[in-house]
Structure 1
Amino acid sequence: MSLSAPRGTADILPKDAKKWQYVEQQIKSICDNYNYQEIRTPLFEHTEVFQRGVGDSTDIVQKEMYTFEDRGGRSLTLRPEGTAAVSRAFVEHKLFGEPNQPVKLYYFAQMFRYERPQKGRMRQLNQFGVEVLGSASPSVDAEVIDLAMTVYRKLGLSSIKLVINSLGDKESRTNHRNALVEHFSPHKHELCADCQTRLSQNPLRVLDCKKDRDHPAMKTAPSILDYLNEESKEYFEQVKTNLTAMGIQYVVDPNLVRGLDYYNHTAFEIMSDAEGFGAITTLAGGGRYNGLIEELGGPNTPGIGFGMGLERLLMALEAEKVEIPLDDALDCYVVAVGNKAELEAVKVVHQLRNEGIQADKDYQNRKMKGQFKAADRLQAKYVLILGESELERQVINVKSMGTGEQTEVSLGNIVEAMKGYLQGGKGE
Structure 2
Amino acid sequence: MSFKVPRGTQDIVPGQSEKWQKIEEIMRRLCNVYRYPEIRTPIFESTELFKRGVGDSTDVVQKEMYTFEDRGGRSLTLRPEGTASIARSYVEHKMFGHPDQPVKMSYIGPMFRYERSQKGRFRQFVQFGVEAIGSKDPAVDAEVIELAMRVYQEAGLKNLKLVINSLGDKEVRDAHREALIEHFQPHIAEFCGDCQKRLEQNPLRILDCKVDAENQLIATAPKLTAYLNEESASYFAQVKAYLDVLGVDYVVDANLVRGLDYYNHTTFEIMSTAEGFGAITTLCGGGRYNGLVEEIGGPESPGIGFAMSIERLLLALEAEEVELDIHNELDLYIVAMDDSAKLKAVELISSFRAKGIAADIDYAGRKMKGQMKAADRLNAKYVIVLGDTELQEDAANVKFMATGEQEKVPFHDLVNYLLSHK
Same fold per superposition (TM over 0.5): yes
Q: Which residue of 2 aligns with 1:415?
A: 415
1:152-179 alpha-carbon deviations (Å, 9 max, x no partner): 1111111110001100000000000000
- Is the CA contact (8 Å cut-off) linking 2:51 and 2:61 kept in structure 1? yes
Two-structure CA RMSD over aligned residues (Å)? 0.8
Written as runs of structure 1 = structure 2, the 5 A alignment for 1:275-294 is: 275-294=275-294
Whether the aligned pair in 2 keeps the contact of 1:328 and 1:379 (CA below 8 Å) is no
- CA offsets per residue over residues 254-304 of structure 1, 9 Å max, x none? 111000000000010000100000011000000000000011111100000
The 5 A counterparts of 1:232-247 are 232-247=232-247
Displacement after TM superposition at 1:131 (Å):
0.3
Question: What is aligned with 1:379?
Answer: 379
- Write out per-residue CA displacement over residues 219-265 of structure 1, whole angstroms, 9 at most, x where no aligned residue: 21000001111100100111111111111111111111000000000
Give the Cα–Cα distance (whole angstroms) in 1 for the partners of residues 18 and 145 of structure 2: 27
In the other structure, the counterpart of 2:26 is 26
Q: Residues of 1 paired with 2:268 and 2:63: CA distance?
A: 24
User: Where does residue 331 of structure 1 map in the other structure?
Assistant: 331
Please state how far the C-alpha of 1:91 moved relative to its aligned partner.
Answer: 0.7
Any residues of structure 2 matched to 1:328-367 within 5 Å, and which?
328-367=328-367
Partner of 1:6: 6
| Conserved 8 A contact 1:108-1:127 | yes
Partner AA of 2:67 in structure 1: T
Partner of 1:142: 142
SS in structure 2 of the partner of residue 11 of structure 1: coil
Q: Distance in 2 between matches of 1:339 and 1:248?
A: 63
Say which SS state the counterpart of residue 241 (structure 1) adopts: helix
1:317 aligns with 2:321: no
TM (norm. structure 1) is: 0.97
* Structure 2 SS opposite 1:331: strand
Q: Residue 210 of structure 2 corresponds to which residue in structure 1?
A: 210
Q: Which amino acid aligns with 1:74?
A: R
Alignment match, 1:295? 295
Aligned length: 422
Q: Measure, in 2, the Cα distance between the counterparts of 1:329 and 1:300.
A: 51
User: Does structure 2 conserve the Cα–Cα contact (< 8 Å) formed by 1:133 and 1:302?
Assistant: yes
**Cα distance in structure 2, aligned partners of 1:349 and 1:177:** 68
Amino acid aligned to 1:407? E
1:393 aligns with 2:393: yes
* 1:62 match: 62
Partner of 2:273: 273
**Corresponding position of 1:425:** none
Q: Offset at 1:413?
A: 1.1
- Cα displacement (A) at 1:378: 0.6
Percent identity between the two aligned chains: 63
1:217-228 mapped onto 2 (5 Å cutoff): 217-228=217-228
Q: Could you tell me how far apart the structure 2 residues matched to 1:370 and 1:219 are?
A: 67
> Hey, what does 1:97 align to over in structure 2?
97
Distance 2:89 2:328 in 1: 39
* Of 135-144 and 387-396, the range deviating more from structure 2: 387-396
1:394/1:411 contact within 8 Å kept: yes
- Residue 306 of structure 1 aligns with which residue? 306
User: Are 1:204 and 1:257, in contact at CA under 8 Å, matched by a contact in 2?
Assistant: yes
The answer for unaligned runs of 5 or more in structure 2 is none
Q: For 1:33 and 1:349, locate their aligned partners in 2 and report how far apart those are by CA, in whole Å.
A: 36
SS at match of 1:381: strand
Task: Give CA deviations for 1:310-347 in whole Å, capped at 9, x if unaligned.
Answer: 10001111111111112333100011112211101000
Residue 99 of structure 1: how far off its partner (Å): 2.1
In structure 1, stretches of 5+ residues that fail to align are 423-428
SS at match of 1:165: strand
1:112 shift after superposition: 0.3
> Which amino acid letter does the alignment assign opposite residue 68 of structure 2?
F
Moved over 4 A (4+): none
Tell me the distance in 2 between the aligned counterparts of 1:114 and 1:359: 43
TM superposition shift of 1:386 = 1.0
Distance 1:397 1:418 in 2: 12
Superposition pairs of residues 246-257 of structure 1, within 5 angstroms? 246-257=246-257
SS across alignment from 1:105: strand
* Cα distance, 1:2 vs structure 2: 2.6
SS at match of 1:14: coil
Distance 1:37 1:329 in 2: 30
8 Å CA contact 2:329–2:358 kept in 1: the answer is no
TM-score by length of 2: 0.99
Q: Provide the secondary structure at the position in 2 that maps to 1:343.
A: helix
